[in-house]
């Protein structure tokens, strides 16, 4: 097992065309927007514990988690882009949250003032431990990013209380989180504090989950269908397929990977590998979206990847998959995991937030047509009553930098995971390694890496799974070996060339939704056809895979500098209004244009498809 | 407006290979099965009114309707296939049902013994008027088919009570049926009794529905989304598209067509035509199934006709569409309506019941694959808690004969609607017209019609919309005119030749689910590919529309005499286990076989598709 480390956020300054733009919008638009919504909905005020029956803004069982995620995002934002006004709000919110803590350490608005008699009474559905997990993550973020202890100390008291309630020991109660999240939070808290009781509680939650007699059946009277939804049918090491609620499943997987690393637990790592393989080889959209069924927001069966708006692919779930794959990469060093991080990042995650930064998709469709009956909105929305997705973006986007590098201290190795342009000052066994990466990745595969630090260490750029042809030059000289260990001189230049021709992508025939269809990728970017770019309906098009795809520029200002793809297609029209006919459609030849999927629905409400018919 | 009449059930004896077989199975399997289930579930015993809180088999708000539909089916069955044991059960059930009638005429088990205080308190959801409608239909069936009056008299008392409760008049309450059905039942009751108050109540229910101020909003506090589900957003004449719950919508349409005929109301007929056109040109599966969304069992938007098991197409809804189109045919004489009756009958209706006669689909999928997450069962089931579909078959199948002919007394015309083989003794203005139709329709288009009655009248076979080439001979002589009015001699022979080559069927490009796909029809039969007949997965096949389809025989006993179609296809396989690949699938050439869609899933659980990829 490897123990790769990710950089601290403030060590990375993005300068690339995609992530930097999105992060700036996060700072100036997303963070203010989610703060405003958190105030407007009464979520933060609820921590004053003054709500009483009959008053407006009744607290909800998962409100604490939304506030916590906004706090986490604020902490990262303050680290990267200090702002006294924002810091003042942050400090006030910390004070308010800490003030809601009960004498025994318990900290949950709903179960303090709305249903205090139900504390931990219904673990499957009541989200208490989920809220606790997000508060812990927020506290760790404030400490790690800003060095602030108050919220961390508060959450340590809550965590100590939780350790006194749950566990194997005599006098403690059994019980598992109904919405996993606290597991990965406990791993973070343990890494920061090194307090063994947090690790023990994490071990308990992971290792006891799904064992017999089943807690949910015995103590909460739940049936087996309910167990599947929360991944509690069997112990985690026996679960071979992703199942149930997608976000729950993927957060659990993150906690499992964390514990595998902390305990150097090979059997748990094997379980993680099996889950990962099932997801990425059977249950993942080409965009990195997961959870194909909107009903219960869940995983279903292998190869069930319908594209229309009966699908789901929640923004939070794609972020969860990126977090899981990133953990798997850091514990194995295997690049396939980073391929998935990148697939999610540039496609199924960024599709969930508009270029404006303050509108969000809950479900990330791969196809939109006016013949689709609506489940979720066709366009991005400013907020949702269930506000997990907007608040997830607020805390995810500031963390982009974490994914770009991994450092292996034992090997004195710096791994360049995603070569998006940035200035990095990485810590490697006490030394500072300065790197400058230039280029337009992911819009272009030519990358220039300037080493700013002299001394001996190794540098290793990742060869992406999507890349068939690539080269690496050191100071102009072609390299055979991609792990370059040498005595570096400040000013040394690595030139990385990842060829990224547009590619036709085929889907496994068992995915019936995609049979006879083709998608387009270029580098890590999945493309989509939006109706606004075509002269004919998207649904009428049959892409000619024998014709080349060429890169063109868009006339739309919002797509300036974005490589748009153009190709040849047939377009079908029907001779008359009949629904069914013995006459085949009439075919004409047209050109089509495709844009990166993550950018769709930024030019008004228009039809779209990723998987297109092919000829 | 025309006033075509349908034959009495006992006037038709089926001798064809499809309807006769299904009707025999209905008599010997379906009817006993639904009687057994009605007893087993306590539905009929509930009419003893002895249930009390805490006892098993608590009555449900729509149980009365299930019993009524079984009674209706029993009445028809007794008329066609007399059986003293069955008649004894029938009589006992009549007695039991009548014994439950209250002194004021009210007759509803649930709202008599479970929630008596809620009588007519929640019309939108409580199904009281729906149950009343089915009881009235059962009563009319018993009277018309068997000449039995007891249940009819009982239901007249109930209908009189309803007339005293609902209506425009001072002192009566406004209110509309939340699940339409009583409208068409009142039309039947009025036709049998000619009592004006039933017609007036029908007029009230149809003409007042959806008017402002909206009853459901004002009196029941419902919101606008709920209104759409029950077709109460606007007055029926202003509704241009089918919407909401499919069975509700189509039963309402039946009631509207009935009232249009009774009142000779052109504006109502126009509304019916608009609804019909919207359904058949925008919202109907090629099988005649309607209601494409399983959630709320409803119509959605134009061209939303997904094929997988996120679809719906309830068996009851297809029967409802046949009933509606049949009414429209009898009031207009336009053959397009009979085309739809036939499409539903031979495809989307018969698919809902197994050849065994006692297993049923609730949802009629057009595609099944193991990658589909299950909503409803993949295979037919013996019964459902919501048992509408099995009981609908019990009353629908004995009525097949009704659809075969229409008689126009003013024109002295007998119309042969569907030329399935049968012996008919039709009533035409007091005369008996005997016809013998021979042939294997719908498996073959050669039909021999022997006239068994001398005298002057006209005979007119329908030219089906699916038929491109046809001829008609009278005593061996080719006819130009298809309406043959003459002095017939007993023994005259008409030979009808409806050419029925296998046809490739294309779907309007706006139906994205079918784009790039093709279906197969031969005559009125939609075909399907079942995996059991192929050497490769159904999902892997691309049908070559340039290759001919030939008729072959199946080696399966259950498909003896059924024309199976064979053609050429390409089959795609994938080079490896990857989910997405830049490598296109590997293609090989295979033959495929298709069977009539209505016969699928009669040889075990196997994958299936109607709309296949084409090349």
Q: Smallest Cβ distance to B585: which of A301, A509, A512? A: A509
State the Cα–Cα distance between residues A284 and A447, nearest whole angstrom.
Answer: 29
- Check CB contact of A508 with chain B, cutoff 8 Å: yes
Collapsed DSSP state (helix, strand, coil) of residue A177: coil
Question: Once rounded to an integer, what is the mean pLDDT over residues A193-211?
Answer: 98
The residue to which tokens 């005649």 are assigned = B288
Question: How many whole angstroms from its chain centre is CA A130?
Answer: 17
Check pLDDT > 70 for residue A374. Answer: no
In the predicted model, is pLDDT for residue B310 greater than 80?
no
Flag whether residue A539 sits within 8 Å of chain B, measured between CB atoms: yes
- Is A528 inside any structural domain? yes
Residues A443 and A571 in one domain: no
**B306 and A303: CB-CB below 8 Å?**
no
Catalytic residue among B163, B316, B388, B389: B388
- A146-155, A301-310, A589-598 — which is least confidently predicted? A301-310
A contact residues 452-481, partner B, Cβ 8 Å cutoff: 468
Residue B27 within any structural domain of the chain? no
- With an 8 Å Cβ cutoff, is A296 touching chain B? no
**Residue from B398, B245, B254, B272 nearest B324 by CA:** B254
Dihedral, A595, A599, A601, A604 alpha carbons, nearest 10? -90
Q: State the Cα torsion B11-B12-B13-B16 to the nearest 10°.
A: 170
Question: Do residues A523 and A493 both lie within one domain?
Answer: no
Q: Confirm or reject contact between A302 and chain B (CB < 8 A).
A: yes
Alpha-carbon torsion, ordered A307, A310, A314, A315, to 10 deg: 50
A38 — pLDDT class (breaks 50, 70, 90): very high
A415 in Cβ contact with A408 (< 8 Å)? yes
Closest CA to B271 of B324, B317, B226, B228: B324
Residues A423 and A515 in one domain: no
B308 interfaces chain A, CB cutoff of 8 Å = yes
**B350 plus B450 within the same structural domain:** no
Kindly report the three-state secondary structure assignment for every residue of A353-391. Answer: ECCCCCCECCECCCEECCCCCCCCCCCCECCCCCCHHHH
Residue B415 is part of a domain; what is its CATH number? Answer: 2.60.40
- Report chain B residues whose CB lies below 8 A from the CB of A574: 506, 508-509
Structural domains of chain A, count: 4
pLDDT over 80 at B373, yes or no: no
- Paired tokens of B126: 């409580």
Average pLDDT, chain B: 96
> In the predicted model, is pLDDT for residue B375 greater than 90?
no
* Predicted confidence band of residue B377 (pLDDT cuts 50, 70, 90): confident
CB environment B555-582: b (16+ within 10 A), e (fewer): eeeebeebbbbbbbbbbbebeeeebbbe
pTM listed for this prediction = 0.92
Asked whether residue A324 falls in the same domain as residue A375, the answer is: yes
Q: Rounded to whole angstroms, how far apart are CA atoms B78 and B95?
A: 17
Radius of gyration, alpha carbons of chain A: 25
Per-residue pLDDT at A398: 98
Q: Is B42 on the interface with A (CB under 8 A)?
A: no
At A576 the pLDDT is 85
Asked whether the beta carbons of A107 and A101 are under 8 A apart, the reply is yes
Contact A301/B371, CB-based, under 8 Å?
yes
Structure tokens at B369: 């694959």
Query: What is d(CA A13, CA A422) in angstroms, rounded to the nearest whole number?
Result: 5
b/e sequence A191-230, b meaning 16+ C-beta within 10 Å: ebbeeebbbbbbbbbbbbbbeeebbbeebbebeeebbbbb
Residue B450 forms part of a structural domain: yes
Give pLDDT tens digits for A217-261: 999 999 988 999 999 999 999 999 999 999 999 999 999 999 999
pLDDT of residue B234: 97
- Measured in angstroms, the CA of A606 and the nearest CA of chain B are apart by 15
What is the mean pLDDT of the segment spanning B33-41? 97
Of the residues B278, B466, B468, B509, the best mutation for testing chain A's interface (the one with the most A CB atoms within 10 Å of its CB) is B509
B499 close to A (CB below 8 A): no
Give CA–CA dist B138/A25, Å, rounded: 67
For chains A and B, count residue pairs whose Cβ atoms are closer than 8 Å.
149
**pLDDT value for B146:** 97
Domain-embedded: residue B263: yes
Q: Nearest C-alpha of chain B: how many angstroms from A275?
A: 15
Domain boundary among B346, B377, B402: B402
Q: Predicted confidence band at A377 (pLDDT cuts at 50, 70, 90)?
A: confident
Chain A residues whose CB is inside 8 A of the B542 CB are: 516
Task: Tell me the sheet residues that pair with B612.
Answer: B518
CA angle B29, B35, B41 (to 5 degrees): 130
Q: What pLDDT does residue A355 have?
A: 98
Per-residue pLDDT, B575: 81
Is residue B13 packed enough to be buried (19+ CB in 10 Å), middle (13-18) or exposed (0-12)? middle
Most distant pair of Cα atoms in chain A: their distance: 77
Do A607 and A511 share a structural domain?
A: yes
* Average pLDDT score over chain A: 96
CA distance linking residue A109 with residue A126, whole number of Å: 12
Residue A70 lies in a domain: yes
Interface test with B, best of A515, A538, A544 (most B CBs within 10 A): A515
Note down the domain range covering B126: 41-234
- CB–CB of B582 and A301 under 8 A? no
Cβ of A371 and B503 within 8 Å?
no
Question: Taking CA atoms, what residue in B is nearest to A295?
Answer: B295
Instruction: Determine the residue among B290, B296, B375, B512 to mutate to test chain A binding: the one whose Cβ has the most chain A Cβ atoms within 10 Å.
Output: B512
Each residue's pLDDT tens digit, B571-599: 999 888 899 999 999 999 999 999 999 99
**Same domain as B447, residue B299:** no
Q: Considering CB atoms only, which of B306, B503, B579 is closest to A281?
A: B579
Whether residue A306 lies within 8 A of chain B, CB to CB, comes out as yes
Range B31-43 average pLDDT: 97
Q: Taking CB atoms and an 8 Å limit, are A506 and B582 in contact across chains?
A: yes
Closest CA to A43 of A73, A63, A62, A69: A63
pLDDT of B374 strictly over 70:
no
User: Minimal Cα distance from A282: which residue of B?
Assistant: B579
Tokens (6 digits) for B343: 């499409």
Residue A18 forms part of a structural domain: no
Which own/partner contact pairs does B582-586 have at CB distance under 8 Å and 24+ positions apart? B582/A468, B582/A503, B582/A504, B582/A505, B582/A506, B583/A506, B584/A504, B584/A506, B584/A545, B585/A506, B585/A509
Whether chain A has a CB inside 8 Å of the CB on B279: the answer is no
Q: In terms of domains, do A380 and A294 share one?
A: yes
Contact B320, B245 (CB under 8 A): no
Selecting from B506, B577, B578 the residue whose C-beta is nearest the C-beta of A581 gives: B506
Interchain CB contact of B4 with A (< 8 Å)? no
pLDDT at B309: 72
Q: Which of A369, A402, A435 is the C-terminal boundary of a domain?
A: A402
Supply the pLDDT for residue A539. 93
DSSP string, A91-126: HHHHHHHHHT--TTS---SIIIII-GGGTTT-TTTS
On whether residue B12 sits in a domain, the answer given is no
Q: pLDDT, tens digit, for every residue of B334-365?
A: 999 999 999 999 999 999 999 999 999 999 99
**How many Å lie between the alpha carbon of A194 and the closest alpha carbon of chain B?**
41
Q: Which residue of A has its CA nearest to B576?
A: A508
How much is the pLDDT for A83? Answer: 97
Q: Are residues A89 and A197 in the same domain?
A: yes
pLDDT at A118: 96
For residues B295-301, average pLDDT: 90
Asked if residue A34 belongs to a domain, the reply is no
Same domain, B493 and B515: no
Tens of pLDDT, residue by residue over B64-108, are 999 999 999 999 999 999 999 999 999 999 999 999 999 999 999
- Give yes or no: residues B477 and B571 share one domain: no
Q: Are residues B125 and B214 in the same domain?
A: yes
pLDDT average, residue stretch B196-204 = 98
Catalytic residue among B144, B180, B243, B297: B297
User: Is 70 exceeded by the pLDDT of residue B167?
Assistant: yes
Query: What is the three-class DSSP state of B361?
Result: coil
Nearest to B293 among A373, A510, A583 (CB): A373
Q: How many CA atoms lie within 13 A of A145 on its CB side?
A: 29
Residue B296, pLDDT > 90, answer no
CA dist list (Å): A609 to A282, A517, A597: 21, 11, 9
Q: If DSSP states are collapsed to H, E and C, what string results for A127-162? A: CHHHHHHHHHHHHHHHHHHHCCCHHHHHHHHHHHHH
On whether any CB of chain B is under 8 Å from the CB of A506, the answer is yes
SS3 assignment, position B573: strand
CA B144-B149-B151 angle, to 5 degrees, is 100
Boundary (domain end) residue, out of A402, A421, A439? A402
- Phi/psi region, residue A412 (left: phi>0; alpha: psi -120 to 50; beta: rest), is left
pLDDT of residue B393: 98
Terminus-to-terminus CA distance in chain B, angstroms? 46
* A540 shares contact with chain B (CB less than 8 Å): yes
């Amino acid at each position: 097992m490897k123990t790769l480390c990710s950089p601290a956020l403030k060590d990375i300054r993005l300068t690339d065309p995609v992530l930097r733009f999105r992060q700036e919008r996060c700072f100036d638009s997303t963070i203010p927007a989610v703060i405003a919504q958190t105030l407007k909905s009464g979520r933060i005020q609820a921590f004053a514990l003054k709500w009483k029956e009959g008053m407006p803004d009744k607290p909800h069982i998962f409100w604490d988690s939304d506030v916590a995620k906004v706090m986490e995002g604020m902490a990262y934002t303050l680290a990267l882009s200090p702002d006294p006004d924002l810091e003042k709000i942050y400090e006030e919110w910390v004070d308010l949250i800490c003030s809601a803590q009960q004498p025994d350490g318990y900290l949950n608005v709903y179960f303090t003032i709305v249903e205090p008699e139900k504390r931990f009474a219904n673990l499957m559905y009541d989200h208490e431990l989920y809220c606790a997990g997000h508060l812990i993550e927020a506290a760790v973020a404030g400490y790690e990013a800003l060095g602030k202890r108050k919220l961390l100390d508060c959450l340590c008291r809550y965590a100590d209380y939780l350790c006194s309630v749950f566990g194997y020991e005599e006098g403690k109660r059994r019980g598992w989180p109904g919405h996993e999240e606290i597991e990965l939070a406990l791993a973070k808290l343990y890494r920061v504090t090194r307090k063994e009781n947090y690790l023990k509680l994490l071990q308990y939650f992971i290792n006891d989950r799904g064992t017999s007699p089943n807690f949910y059946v015995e103590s909460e009277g739940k049936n087996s269908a309910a167990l599947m939804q929360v991944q509690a049918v069997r112990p985690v090491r026996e679960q071979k397929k992703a199942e149930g609620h997608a976000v729950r499943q993927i957060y659990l997987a993150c906690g499992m990977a964390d514990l595998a690393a902390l305990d150097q637990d090979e059997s748990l790592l094997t379980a993680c590998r099996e889950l990962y393989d099932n997801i990425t080889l059977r249950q993942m959209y080409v965009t990195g979206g997961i959870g194909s069924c909107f009903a219960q927001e869940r995983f279903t069966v292998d190869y069930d990847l319908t594209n229309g708006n009966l699908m789901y692919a929640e923004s939070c779930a794609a972020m969860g998959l990126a977090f899981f794959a990133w953990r798997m990469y850091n514990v194995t060093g295997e690049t396939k995991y980073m391929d998935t991080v990148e697939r999610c990042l540039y496609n199924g995650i960024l599709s969930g937030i508009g270029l404006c930064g303050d509108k969000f998709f809950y479900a990330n469709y791969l196809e939109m047509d006016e013949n689709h009956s609506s489940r979720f909105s066709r366009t991005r929305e400013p907020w949702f009553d269930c506000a997990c997705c907007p608040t997830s973006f607020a805390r995810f986007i500031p963390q982009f930098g974490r994914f770009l590098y991994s450092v292996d201290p034992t090997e004195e190795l710096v791994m360049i995971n995603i070569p998006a342009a940035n200035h990095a000052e990485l810590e490697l066994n006490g030394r500072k390694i300065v790197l400058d990466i230039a280029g337009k990745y992911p819009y272009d595969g030519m990358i220039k890496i300037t080493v700013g630090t002299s001394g001996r260490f190794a540098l290793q750029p990742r060869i992406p799974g999507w890349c068939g042809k690539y080269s690496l030059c050191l100071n102009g000289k072609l390299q055979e070996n991609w792990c370059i260990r040498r005595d570096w001189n400040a000013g040394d230049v690595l030139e990385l060339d990842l060829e990224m021709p547009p590619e036709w992508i085929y889907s496994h025939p068992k995915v019936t939704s995609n049979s006879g269809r083709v998608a387009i990728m270029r580098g890590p970017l999945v493309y989509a056809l939006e109706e606004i770019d075509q002269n004919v309906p998207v649904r009428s098009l049959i892409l000619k895979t024998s014709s080349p795809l060429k890169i063109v520029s868009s006339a739309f200002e919002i797509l300036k500098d974005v490589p748009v793809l153009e190709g040849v297609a047939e377009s079908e029209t029907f001779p008359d209004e009949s629904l069914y006919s013995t006459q085949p459609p009439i075919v004409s030849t047209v050109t089509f244009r495709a844009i990166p999927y993550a950018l769709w629905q930024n030019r008004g409400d228009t039809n779209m498809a990723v998987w297109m018919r092919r000829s």
